[in-house]
Chain A
Amino acid sequence: MPGPIDYSKLRILPDYDTVEWWAGTKQRKYLVRQCNACGHKWFPPIFPACARCTSMDIGWFETAGRGVLHSYVVVVQPIVGAFIGAVPYVVAIIELDDCKEADGSVTRVAGVMLNDEAEVAIGLPCAVEYEETSDAKIVMPRWRVSGTAANTWKFAE
C-alpha cells in the first residue's frame, strides 16, 4: 500500500457545480452526473449540461462504486507536496460497471489506488473506498482492486 497522503497540503475547493458531489463522498456515495431528459451519465461534474442532448435539467446517479481498471500511471516523482509521502502511487482511470450506455460508451472516473503497483493491472475489477482527510468537509474516494479477471495487462518494464 502506498504511503499516506498529507491532506493538510491539499485544499479542495468545491464550486456551485460540484458541491453536491463532495457532499456525496462524505455520505459514502459515489455520484456521477445524469441528464434528467435523456439519461446520459458523465464525470467529472464540472460540466453543467448534457453532452448528448444539451439539457441543463440534470441530477445525480448513485453508482455502486465498482468498475474495471482502464488505464493507470505510477507517479514516481511527486509534484503535489501532499503526495510526497505516497510515492510511488498509482492513479487509475476506471470504467464504471453500472454506467454503460446504449452506444457502448462508459462513464470513466479516476482516483488514487490503495494498492501498490505490483497489484494493479488493466482489466482488474476495482471498488471505491473512502478516506477521511484533515478537512472535515472533504472525504476522498480511493480505489482498491476487488477481484481477479481473465484478460489483464500490466506494465512490466
Chain B
Amino acid sequence: MGALTDKYCIVGVGETPHMRPSNRTTLSMACEAVRKALADAGLEARDVDGMTSYSIGDSTTSPHVATALGMRLNYAVDIFGGGSSGEALVANAIGLIEAGYCKTMVIFRSMNGRSGRRMGGQTPGGPIPVALAEGDGQFNIGWGWTTPAQRFGMSAMRYLRDTGCTTRAFAEIAVAHRYHASLNPKARHRSPITIEDHQRSRWIVKPLRLLDCCQETDVSVAIIVTSRERAYDLRHPPVFIMGGYARTLTDSPQWNYSREELHYVAGNYGWKRAFGMAGITHKDVDFVSCYDAFTFTTLIQLEANAFCGKGEAGEFVKGGRLRIDRELPSNLSGGHLSEGYTHGVQMVIENVRQLRHRADDACPGWAEGRHSYDRAAGCRQLKQADICCGMGWGWENMASCLILRGMAA
C-alpha cells in the first residue's frame, strides 16, 4: 500500500451535455461543469481553493473560471496535455493538498472538440485547406499522416500482424461500449450495434473503420478532490483514491518512430506501481474504464495493464466479456466511442457514480441509490461496484491510471 492510499477522495463530479455544436465558449461550459460538480459535492464556490485543467491550447484557464465564479484560489495551474492528463492531475491534487498548497481542488477539461479545434487539425468544414508542417509535423503532416486514427493505426496494424487477431476483436469493444451507452440517457449514440454492423461500417484509415472511432463532442467535465477528513462531511459517500500512475512514458517517447514494439504501450511501465500502491490484485477489480478514442486503444490498454497476457487481448474480449454483468465490464457510460469525447475525464466521472451506486440511468430512484439492475428497463448500475481501475491513454507513449474504491470495499 502507498503512504497516501485512501487518504484522498473524489467528492464531486459534473459535466455539460455532449453537444455538436455547443454554440458556447469553453469558459461558459467550464463554469457549468464546475458548478455542477460543486452542487454534486455539496460545496460552495468559496470552499474550493485550488483549480487545475489541461488542454492542447484549445480551452479556457483556471483563473478565468475562478473569476467568473468568484473563487479566490491558492493554486491555479493549467497544463498542456491531452488524454491521460485527467488522472495525472488527480495525482497532482493529492500531492498539492498533502503538501498544504491548497485544501480542495477542482480539475476540469473544457473543449469544443467537434465545432472548434478537432484532433488531427481537421477544420469543422472538412479537410485542412493548406497544412503547415512545422516541428514534429514536418515528419507526419508532410506524409499526410496527422489524425490520431491515422497515427494509432500503425500500432493497431502491427498488433494484428503480431498476434493473429482480427478486427472482430475491435468490434467487441465497439459493441460492448455501445450497449452501455444504450443504458445512458446522456450518451450521443444509444442504438445497440452488432459485430456485423462494425464490420460493415466504412473505412476511415485501415485497419480502423467508422465504428472504431470515437464521437467528437463539445463538452466540459469537472471533478473535485479533497482529503478523506473533509470528504466525510460532504453530500455523497466518498470515493477513495487507492493508487495509480500519472503520465508514465515509454522508453522511446516519440512513438511514431519508436524503437520498441509499436504496441508495447506506456501502461506496461505503470501497472505494477499502481496495483502495488492500491494493495490489490486484478481479481479485486469489479470493472474498468479505458481511454477508448478507438476500439483498439481499449484492447491494448487491457493488455498493457496485465488484465490479460501479452498478445491475448483479442481472445480476452471475445463473446461480450466487457459487457455489464459479464466478467470485466468496461466503460459503463458508453465511453468516447458512444457517449462523447472528453479527453478521458468522463470515465472518471462514470466510475465515481458507479462506486457511489448512483449511476444516472433510467431507474426513478437512481439519485438515492435505488436500482433495478434490469437492463431491459434501462438500469446501468453494476450490482457489485466496489473497486475499479481506470486507464488513461495519451498516445502509445503515455498513460495514466486511477484505481478507485467506494465505501463498500
Contacts and interface: CB of A to CB of B under 8 A. Distances in A.
Interface of A: 5, 9-15, 18, 22, 42-44, 46-47, 51, 70-84, 86, 88-89, 91, 93, 105-112, 117, 122, 140, 153, 155, 157
Please give me the 6 A-B residue pairs with the lowest Cβ-Cβ distance, nearest first.
A83-B144, A73-B153, A74-B206, A44-B139, A13-B134, A105-B259
B27 interface: no
A80 B158 contact: no
Given A91-B150, A117-B206, A46 B130 contact: no
A10 B129 CA distance: 9
Contact of B144 (A70, A75, A122): A75
B232 interface: no
Contacts of A13: 132-134, 138
B136 A46 contact: yes
B131 A10 contact: yes
B158 A79 contact: no
B138 A10 contact: no
Q: Which of B120, B144, B252 has most A Cβ within 10 Å?
A: B144
Contacts of B409: none
Given A75-B144, A112-B144, A11 B130 contact: yes
B254 A47 contact: yes
A118 to B, nearest CB: 12
A44 B138 contact: yes
Query: What's the interface size class on B, roughly?
Result: 35 or more
A43 B257 contact: yes
Contacts of A106: 259
Contacts of A44: 136, 138-139, 254, 257
Nearest to B132: A11
Interface stretch (B83-91, B160-168, B222-230, B364-372): B160-168
B258 interface: yes
A93 B150 CA distance: 12
A72 B254 CA distance: 17
Q: Which of A75, A84, A105 has most B Cβ within 10 Å?
A: A75
Contact of B150 (A10, A75, A157): A75
Given A71-B158, A77-B205, A108 B144 contact: no
Given A44-B254, A83-B127, 4 more contacts: A70-B262, A71-B154, A80-B141, A80-B144
B146 interface: yes
B206 A82 contact: no
A9 B206 contact: no
Contacts of A122: 157-158, 161
